[in-house]
Amino acid sequence: MNIEKLYQDYSIDYPTEGKHFRDGWINCRCCWCDDSSYHLGYNTDENYFSCFRCGHHFVDDTIRMLLGVNMAEARKIMKAYGGNTLSIKEPKVIIRAKAFKLPSGTGDLQKQHRQYLEKRNFDVEKLEYLWDLKGTGPVSVLDDINYRHRIIIPFYWTDKIVSFDSRDITGKHRSKYMACPKERELVPHKSILYGYQQQWRDTGICVEGPADVWRLGTDAFAVSGIKYTQMQVRAMAKAFKRVIVIFDDEDQAQAQADKLVADLRFRKIEAFKIESIVAPDPGSMKQSDADYLVKQLIK
C-alpha cells in the first residue's frame, strides 16, 4: 500500500528525516495511544502497523482510526492506495546465519559495572553466575555502533547465545538500552523470551526487561519492553500453563499488560496481571519484597 501518498492526501504528518525516520518505515503519531511523537510505524516491505509504545495493530482498523472513518470506508480507501485487508500485522521471523559476536572490548564486569549494580541493590556475584553478565569499557564497537560503558546482557535460547542487550551505566547516553544489531542476531530477540529456561516451571512471571528478571529470579522472563510480539506469545504458550504479568505502573504499560493477558487467554493459557507492587517496576523492588512476592505467586 502506498501509505506515503495516503498520508499526503489526507494531511497526516510524518517525518522524512531525523530520529523517527528509518528506511522501510513510514511513521506518524499513533492513533491508539497517547503519543506526542511519531511512534506508529508502517512497514513498507511487510505491510503492517506497529507502534513502538503499544505494539502491533491491524492495517484496516488503524486506517479507520487515523482517518476517522468507518471500517467500510477505510477498506475502500486502502484499496484505492493498493492495500488489502489481509495485510499481515506481524513481521516474519528470520533465523540469521551471519556470525554472532559481542561488541569489541567485552569482558568480565569491572569496578564501575559492579558499583552500578550494587547501587541498585543487586547481588553482583549472583548475577554473574546466573545471567553471565559482561561489561565494556571506554572503547567498544560493533558494526559502527558504540557500546562503551555498558553492561552486556547475553540472550540464551535452547542453551545457545543468540543475541544480546546492553545497559548504559553512565546515565548520560540517550539510549539506556541498546540491543544487538539485527544482522548479527542468530535469532531475533523479539521472537524469544529472556530468562533461565532450564529452571522454568508451569507458572512464569512475565516482566518487561532483564533487570526485572534479575530481581524476581529464575521464575521470571522478559519480553524486552511492553511491545511484545505474537512469536513471544507462542513461546509463552509453549513453555507455561500459567502466566502472571507484572509490567511497570505507567498507564501505557498496564494497557499492554491487559492486551497480553487477553492474548494468552485466547490461547487457553491461565493468565492475569498484577497492577500494584511496592515499587514503580519490579527491578526497583527491595530484594526481600521481590522474594516474598515470588513465593506468593509460585506455589
**Digit-coded pLDDT (tens) for 7-19:** 999 999 898 876 6
Co-location of 73 and 15 in the same domain: yes
Q: pLDDT above 90 covers what percent of the chain? A: 58
Query: Which of 171, 188, 205 is the last residue in one of the domains?
Result: 188
In a domain, 180, yes or no: yes
8 Å CB contact between 108 and 134: yes
pLDDT of 92 reads 46
Q: Which long-range contacts (CB under 8 A, 24 or more apart) does 263-268 make?
A: 263/230, 263/233, 264/233, 264/236, 264/237, 267/233, 267/234, 267/237, 268/237
Query: Which of 80, 110, 129 is the last residue in one of the domains?
Result: 80
pLDDT of 85 reads 56
> Phi and psi dihedrals of 213, rounded to 5?
-65, -45
Confidence label for 123 from pLDDT (cuts 50, 70 and 90)? very high
Q: What is the span of the domain harbouring residue 14?
A: 3-80
Per-residue pLDDT tens over the stretch 245-274? 999 988 889 999 999 999 999 889 999 999
pLDDT of 88 reads 39
In a domain, 87, yes or no: no
How confident is the model over 51-58, as a mean pLDDT?
74
Number of domains in the chain: 3
pLDDT of 132 reads 95
Co-location of 198 and 183 in the same domain: no
In a domain, 237, yes or no: yes
b/e per residue 39-60 (b: at least 16 CB within 10 A): bbbbbeeebbbbbbbbbbbebb
Co-location of 102 and 172 in the same domain: yes
pLDDT of 98 reads 63
Find where cell 499481515 sits.
88
Q: pLDDT above 70 covers what percent of the chain? A: 92
In a domain, 74, yes or no: yes
Which set of grid coordinates corresponds to residue 289?
A: 519484597
How confident is the model over 27-41, as a mean pLDDT?
83
- Distance from C-alpha of 64 to C-alpha of 83, rounded to nearest angstrom: 13
Confidence label for 158 from pLDDT (cuts 50, 70 and 90)? confident
SS3 state at 214: helix
Ranking 31-35, 138-142, 238-242 by mean pLDDT, the lowest is: 31-35
Beta bridge partners of 107: 135
Co-location of 179 and 213 in the same domain: no
In a domain, 85, yes or no: no
- Distance from C-alpha of 292 to C-alpha of 222, rounded to nearest angstrom: 20
b/e per residue 122-144 (b: at least 16 CB within 10 A): beeeebbeebebbbbeeebebee
In a domain, 281, yes or no: yes
Q: Return the CATH number at 73.
A: 3.90.580.10
Which set of grid coordinates corresponds to residue 184?
A: 548479527
Query: Which of 133, 156, 188 is the last residue in one of the domains?
Result: 188
Kindly tell me if the per-residue pLDDT of 156 is higher than 50.
yes
